[in-house]
Amino acid sequence: MSSIIQLLPDHVANQIAAGEVVQRPASVVKELLENAIDAGASDIKLICKEAGKVLIQVIDNGKGMSVTDARLCFERHATSKIRQAEDLFDLHTKGFRGEALASIAAIAHVEMKTKQDQDELGTHIIIEGSKFISQDVAVLPKGTSFLVKNLFYNIPARRNFLKSDIVELRHIIDEFHRVALAHHNIHFTLYHNGSELFNLPQSNARQRIVNVFAGKTNEKLVPIKESTDILTISGFIGKPEFAKRNRGEQFFFVNDRFIKSGYLHHAILAAYDGLLRDGAQPSYFLYLTVPPHTIDINIHPTKTEIKFDDEHALYAILRSAAKHSLGQFNVSPILDFERDFNLDTPYNYQNKGAETPTIQVDSNFNPFQEDKKHNQFSYKPKSENQPHWESLYVGLNADVSDVHFESEAVTSSLFSENEVEKAPTSTYQIHKKYIVSPIKSGMMIINQQRAHQRILYEKFLKNITLEQASSQQLLFPLTLYFSANEIKLIKEIKQSLENTGFVFEEINKDSVVISGLPVKVFESEVSIVLEQLVSDLQDEIPDSNFSQMDSMAKSLAKSLAVKTGTYLTEEAQENIVNKLFACKEATISPFNKTTFITLSVEDLDKKFNV
């Protein structure tokens, strides 16, 4: 019987390994940037074309490689970072698995140029799909240049799974941010399609954060610093009033390596307890330093998850440090007695003295006299211009017997019983969540939030496509601040936003000025609406123009629809019911959720066992 187990060829094994290492162009960017940092570079350039699908190039001024190392680095499990298994638990570098370059070379056209400082000439290598094409000597500057072209050219199925250029570029920028924020002592530059997106000079941590996110980032940063035997914390957390709906500005760095940790994120949220509005997410840029032997980095293929020896201690220290920082800079409320602001002295009376009233006593007053025309005491203010208020009460002592009443009994109401009786209500609200409306066969129960989402979705979609939305002008223009990547996206969807009713006065490098809003959109909601819209579009923006409009309409409907827990008047309830059944698809929300259900009389009878 012939053997059925075979050893895979190297090029097949490399392609399988590439499935773990290289998921999208951003994965290549991450690996190449980390290699450049490990090479001791002080200046790193990242160049991309068409969101990395056509070209990714990383140029550094690090120590470079020798001729032998240049050829050997493309072999599987080839690394300069570790020598034995124990080194995995004492890591001080980024890449250590030794599969990155071999995996990238298996699915793309790779061109590498490298030269060490002591060498006169460098090495130029070209590889296509794990196959060496050429290796030549070349005159090069010190450092290394990796050029990756036509990613997934030999695996078209994988290439078809890539998203639009906007989505892929966002992932590249995210990886660029993570590396740049962790290494503020390195000069980073990012170019895309010939234009410079980021130019981050060497700086301190605060300046690097401000340079990356621009806007009013500097105003919202609160420093945090704590040092213990098992953990050292430094960095910044954001003020509660600047919290956003999305989680874009949340970074944990452990020993200068970006990680994701829902457990540590919960510690930060616990420190903000009671300070954030519903659904808001705080910003934080936290640098944690722990002994390398207390963490295990090699538990996830992308090395973005870390196992800690004592997570509970880290949680407690991180939460208390964040809470202390918020209190120290007067961000969170301190212990104080409550006082009534109504008892404070009005501003106009602060510098005025009190006027002493005068009291005059009537010495002739006798309470046993029948004539009680005089009061015992009379109060007269200092002002001599005394109004004749006594004239208002002239005639009150007249004899009551002179007044004649109608013999007809006086009713207790000005209206008849038919007029007083309240008109029957056609809708009712239950738990500020559902609207109940009676119908011929029984009753209909409507989810008010989903129904309103459907109404707004069709309205915004119609306005965007037909360009017939109306706007309400603001008395004073509103300025909102965004990151460079968000500004780029807003410029792309500017026309569609204007079709919904937004009026942009100007769009700057880090801010937008809005002078008009869609009807029934309040000024206080604008920042929340645009932040949610940008976040939704960044997560998954389709290629086609119509799909982009559809995503915008869904995002706006989700942000502006009435929420569960909102009280609705009878008029508002009936308005939602009427508009819902005027929609083209009234049965489901824009997110394919049921908007209403019906209960027939028969169903109710069954409940009562009638």
What share of residues in the chain are helix, strand, coil (percent, to 5)? 35, 25, 40
Residue 420: the pLDDT is 36
pLDDT above 90 as % of the chain: 19
Residue 61: the pLDDT is 92
CATH number for region 434-597: 3.30.1370.100
Is 144 strand, coil or helix? strand
For residue range 31-48, what is the model confidence (pLDDT) as tens digits? 899 889 988 899 999 999
Mean pLDDT within 216-244: 87
For residue range 581-608, what is the model confidence (pLDDT) as tens digits? 888 888 889 888 899 998 888 888 888 8
Q: Are 55 and 149 in contact (CB under 8 A)?
A: yes
Mean pLDDT within 554-558: 84
Residue 101: the pLDDT is 84
Q: What is the pLDDT confidence band of residue 115, given thresholds at 50, 70 and 90? A: very high
Residue 57: the pLDDT is 94
Residue 125: the pLDDT is 92
**Which of 17-26, 485-494, 574-583 shows the highest mean pLDDT?**
574-583
For the chain, give every domain's residue range.
10-200, 213-328, 434-597
Residue with the larger pLDDT of the pair 341 and 522: 522
Mean pLDDT within 104-118: 90
Residue 331: the pLDDT is 61
For residue range 459-492, what is the model confidence (pLDDT) as tens digits? 888 877 776 667 788 888 888 888 777 887 888 8
Answer whether residue 336 shows pLDDT above 90. no
Answer whether residue 275 shows pLDDT above 80. yes
Answer whether residue 316 shows pLDDT above 80. yes
Residue 410: the pLDDT is 47
Answer whether residue 89 shows pLDDT above 60. no
Radius of gyration of the chain (CA): 36
The span from the CA of 445 to the CA of 436, in Å, is: 5
Answer whether residue 417 shows pLDDT above 50. no
Mean pLDDT within 490-496: 82
* Contact partners, residue 469, CB within 8 Å, separation at least 6: 463, 499, 500, 501, 518, 519
Q: Are 512 and 482 in contact (CB under 8 A)?
A: yes
**How many CA atoms does the CB half-sphere of 251 hold within 13 Å?**
26
Nearest alpha carbon to residue 282 among 326, 223, 251, 239: 239
Mean pLDDT within 446-451: 92
Residue 535: the pLDDT is 76
Instruction: Kindly tell me the burial class for residue 101, based on how many C-beta atoms sit within 10 Å of its own C-beta (0-12, 13-18, 19 or more).
Output: buried
Mean pLDDT within 523-552: 70
Most distant CA pair in the chain, distance:
137
Mean pLDDT within 422-433: 73
**Which of 83-92, 112-121, 464-473, 495-504 shows the highest mean pLDDT?**
112-121
Answer whether residue 111 shows pLDDT above 90. yes
Mean per-residue pLDDT of the chain: 79
Q: Are 282 and 237 in contact (CB under 8 A)?
A: yes
Answer whether residue 382 shows pLDDT above 90. no
Answer whether residue 334 shows pLDDT above 60. no
Answer whether residue 59 shows pLDDT above 90. yes
Residue 235: the pLDDT is 92
SS3 readout for 84-114: CHHHHHCCCCCCCCCCHHHHHHHCCEEEEEE
Residue with the larger pLDDT of the pair 413 and 161: 161
CATH number for region 213-328: 3.30.230.10
pTM over 0.75: no
For 450, the enclosing helix (H) or strand (E) is helix 448-466
Nearest alpha carbon to residue 454 among 321, 553, 526: 553
Residue 131: the pLDDT is 86
Answer whether residue 11 shows pLDDT above 80. no
Answer whether residue 375 shows pLDDT above 60. no
Q: What is the pLDDT confidence band of residue 164, given thresholds at 50, 70 and 90? A: confident
Q: What is the pLDDT confidence band of residue 130, given thresholds at 50, 70 and 90? A: confident
Answer whether residue 179 shows pLDDT above 90. yes
CATH number for region 10-200: 3.30.565.10
Phi and psi torsions of 286, nearest 5°: -115, 130
For residue range 276-310, what is the model confidence (pLDDT) as tens digits? 877 788 889 999 998 888 777 765 556 677 777 78
Instruction: Kindly tell me the burial class for residue 343, based on how many C-beta atoms sit within 10 Å of its own C-beta (0-12, 13-18, 19 or more).
Output: exposed
Residue 452: the pLDDT is 92
Is 182 strand, coil or helix? helix
The span from the CA of 116 to the CA of 144, in Å, is: 9
Q: What is the pLDDT confidence band of residue 413, given thresholds at 50, 70 and 90? A: very low
The span from the CA of 494 to the CA of 32, in Å, is: 35
Residue with the larger pLDDT of the pair 402 and 181: 181
Residue 419: the pLDDT is 40
The span from the CA of 111 to the CA of 104, in Å, is: 11
Residue 33: the pLDDT is 92
Is 224 strand, coil or helix? strand
Mean pLDDT within 336-350: 59
Answer whether residue 90 shows pLDDT above 80. no
The span from the CA of 405 to the CA of 425, in Å, is: 41
Answer whether residue 204 shows pLDDT above 70. yes
Q: Are 92 and 107 in contact (CB under 8 A)?
A: no
Nearest alpha carbon to residue 236 among 313, 173, 326, 333: 326
Residue 411: the pLDDT is 46
* Contact partners, residue 109, CB within 8 Å, separation at least 6: 126, 127, 128, 129, 148, 149, 150, 153
